[in-house]
Amino acid sequence: MNVLAIETSCDETSASIVANGIKVKSIIVSSQARIHAKFFGVVPELASRAHIENINFVVSQVLRTSRITFDSFSRKVDAIAFTRGPGLVGALLIGAIAAKSLAIIYKKPLIPVNHLEGHIYSSFIENKFIKHPFLSLIISGGHTELILVKDFGKYKMLGRTRDDAVGEAFDKAAKMLGLSYPGGPIIDKRAEKGNPEAIRFTRPYLKGSWDFSFSGIKTALLNYLKINPIKDEKHLNDVCASFRQAVSETLCFKSFTAAKEFRLKRIVLGGGVSANYLIRKMFLKISRENKMKVFIPSPVYCTDNAAMVGCVAYLKYLKCGLVYSNAQLTSNPSLNLEDWQYNYT
């Protein structure tokens, strides 16, 4: 089954052709990072406008890469998937309208996808179908969520951030350090050259809860910089390395403690921050020591992309078929994971 998938929930316009949920025939991701850089964050109105400008190009490019012409579309594409939510309302609507227009023209079924399910299942693309149950950690610019995934569509939200998402904390820290946006990858690169033990930033473990809080580390950095302004490149790299160390240890501690508590042998990462070198290294090392398995997507599938939408669309097709009500096909900026109706008996 070939799915044309479209993702426009935030600041990436992406389209992909995915066969049977895991074979990515082509993928195009057009990032708006440059547009939002001068504001140090995503500006919703600018994101919507950029999606309008990009969507036709991205979709036609992905079709061309897969050698799908307007004549062969009907034969080569079986369904069209799009991100229904959560995300920025204007941004979501552009992807939904593009998908719905193509579905009407070519008489194809539509599959609505939850963006968070996309991040949860993005690891499936390179690892065939990972066995349930597993612990999912979604770490991105908008989300920090720890989820017990019992089966496809059966989720228990264990914890989430009480303040900043982890990617947001990286981006705000970068701004404090005079670095550009998005700050996560820049801090990550500099941290590779710094000493992670130079400064001891707080580790907010929030004992007794699976929630996260990153505003404390951010404030600790702000207070540190007031007394110790950055004096040279080495100092800057040391601060980046120490900040990254504190964030990575916090994520690892929470995730492995939760996995042990719920007797889960598999941890699956997703979201832009899972591209971080140290987070990847730490999760893989600790999982080996504990005889557990950790799955982390390649960087292209960590950040927002349409292939993960195509993957989930196929899993939904297997579980629920291809018929959705108008309400289920309506964009919802605050869609919850639990909002989906799966037919479990």
Q: Kindly state the helix (H) or strand (E) to which residue 15 belongs, with its residue range.
A: strand 12-19
For ligand KG4, the closer CB: 121 or 317: 121
Asked whether 31 and 7 are in contact (CB, 8 A), the reply is no
83, 248, 303, 331: which one binds ligand KG4 (CB under 6 A): 303
Choosing among Zn ion, ligand KG4, none, which partner's interface includes residue 182 (Cβ < 5 to 8 Å by kind)? ligand KG4
155, 170, 317, 340: which one binds ligand KG4 (CB under 6 A): 170
238 binds Zn ion (CB under 5 A): no
Least Å distance, CB 272 to Zn ion, is 7
Which listed range, 174-182, 257-265, 274-282, 304-312, lies at the site for Zn ion (CB under 5 A)? 304-312
For ligand KG4, the closer CB: 103 or 304: 304
304 binds Zn ion (CB under 5 A): yes
184 binds ligand KG4 (CB under 6 A): yes
122, 140, 250, 331: which one binds Zn ion (CB under 5 A): 140
Asked whether 268 and 134 are in contact (CB, 8 A), the reply is yes
The rounded distance, in Å, linking the Cα atoms of 135 and 140 is 16
Q: Which pairs count as long-range contacts for 146-153, CB under 8 Å and 24+ apart, including other chains?
A: 146/210, 146/212, 146/254, 146/255, 146/258, 147/120, 147/337, 148/258, 148/262, 148/264, 149/120, 149/268, 151/344, 152/315, 152/319, 152/342, 153/319, 153/340, 153/342, 153/344
Which listed range, 100-108, 149-157, 208-216, 267-275, lies at the site for ligand KG4 (CB under 6 A)? 267-275
16 binds ligand KG4 (CB under 6 A): no
199 phi/psi in degrees, rounded to 5: -130, 140
For residue 66, give the DSSP letter: T
Which listed range, 218-226, 254-262, 269-277, 336-344, lies at the site for ligand KG4 (CB under 6 A)? 269-277
95, 159, 185, 297: which one binds ligand KG4 (CB under 6 A): 185
**Looking only at residues 110 through 149 of this chain, which bind ligand KG4 when binding is defined by CB under 6 A?**
140-142
The rounded distance, in Å, linking the Cα atoms of 4 and 10 is 19
Using CA atoms, how far residue 146 sits from 161, 197, 231, 330, in Å, is 9, 27, 38, 26
Tokens of 15: 């389209």
Task: Please report the sign of the dihedral spanned by the C-alpha atoms of residue 136, residue 139, residue 142, residue 146.
Answer: positive
Which listed range, 70-78, 180-188, 201-209, 337-345, lies at the site for ligand KG4 (CB under 6 A)? 180-188
161, 276, 287, 331: which one binds ligand KG4 (CB under 6 A): 276
Which residues are near ligand KG4 by CB under 6 A? 10, 140-142, 167, 170-171, 182-185, 188, 271-273, 275-276, 303-304
